[in-house]
A = this chain, B = another copy of it.
Amino acid sequence: MSHLLLALDFGGTKLSAALLQDGESAWRGHRRVFSPSGSRAADDLRAMLQMSRDLLQSHSPAAIGVSFGGPVDFDSGTVRLSHHVPGWEEVPLREQLQQVLGAPAAVDNDANVAALGEQRFGAGKGYRHLLYITVSTGVGGGWILNGQPWRGAEGMAGEIGHTVVDPRGPQCLCGKRGCVERLASGPYMAQDARERLQQEPDKGQILRRLSDGSPDTITGKLLSEAAAAGDALAQEILDRGAWALGTGIGNAANLINPQRVVLGGGVTKSGERWWQRVRDTAATVTLPEVHVEIVPAVLGDDAPLWGAVALAEDLLKHGDS
């Protein structure tokens, strides 16, 4: 009897598919393509099905797990929308995949699925209660409570990026001031750096040099490099981001008391100083009786695929369809 698990990841810009034999720890096969600019939902779905058939050859999968980069109604398996690709509004993705590929499927948003991946196969292995946070172009989160994703009443749980940690802070696109995402995400930190360079001509010499005098090229990554090279302005902006994230984590820990917080995403590669400040801030905010370990994610870009494997495994275990 086949126990092939098909794992699919509809990212904002990439489509990934992988095949695993249940119980094994290495992919049988793995495909990744970039979603061409201008592509629509139907194009992405077609490309994903093509990759799936390539991987499966003549075999049928026993179950399909799917990570989707946007809000999903888990119970019905319906995608609500994609922030990157048009045409995904109210698409019954689970239903479509089940019909075409002939196996039970489960679909959830990427934050929840990545959280599940890290908990089953990565930095959260052996822990039942954790918060996974990706700190990248945005700041998103997913909870695992009692070993399962906690999705909330409307599937919206985990939005740590839009918790407020500094009501007198800068304004976020969401309308509020001082959200974690406004202070700690890569693009917003880069924007702040560009503004500071313009306002303070004496500061940020290393950052100016690294950006070849073109502030437009500053990214979160370049900011980290400048900070590592000793640029005080870059360090200040990264410190503030780390403080905001640490405060958000401390608040979340006081509210829910998880065992671990797992951090992934590009900004987490900002070096030891950044990590130390996140941890120190969180430790200050949590009550003395509340303990939480903050550790780096280990699955990288494959976290959603591994989480999709966990979704597929659970389908087999529970016999859902």
Contacts and interface: CB of A to CB of B under 8 A. Distances in A.
B254 A255 contact: no
A175 B250 CA distance: 14
Nearest to A157: B257
A151 B256 CA distance: 8
A159 B290 contact: yes
Interface in A131-177: 141, 143, 145, 150-160, 162-168, 174-176
A171 to B, nearest CB: 13
Interface stretch (A208-216, A264-272, A281-289): A281-289
A251 interface: yes
A290 B247 contact: no
A291 interface: yes
A91 to B, nearest CB: 17
A152 B165 CA distance: 22
A255 B165 contact: no
Contacts of A92: none
Given A145-B145, A251-B164, A257 B287 contact: no
Contacts of A255: 141, 143, 157-160, 163, 252, 255-256
22 contacts: A129-B152, A145-B145, A145-B150, A150-B256, A151-B257, A153-B257, A154-B289, A155-B257, A156-B254, A156-B257, A156-B287, A157-B255, A162-B287, A164-B247, A164-B251, A165-B167, A166-B166, A168-B168, A174-B287, A175-B284, A251-B251, A256-B256
Interface of A: 71, 129, 141, 143, 145, 150-160, 162-168, 174-176, 247, 250-252, 254-259, 284-285, 287, 289-291
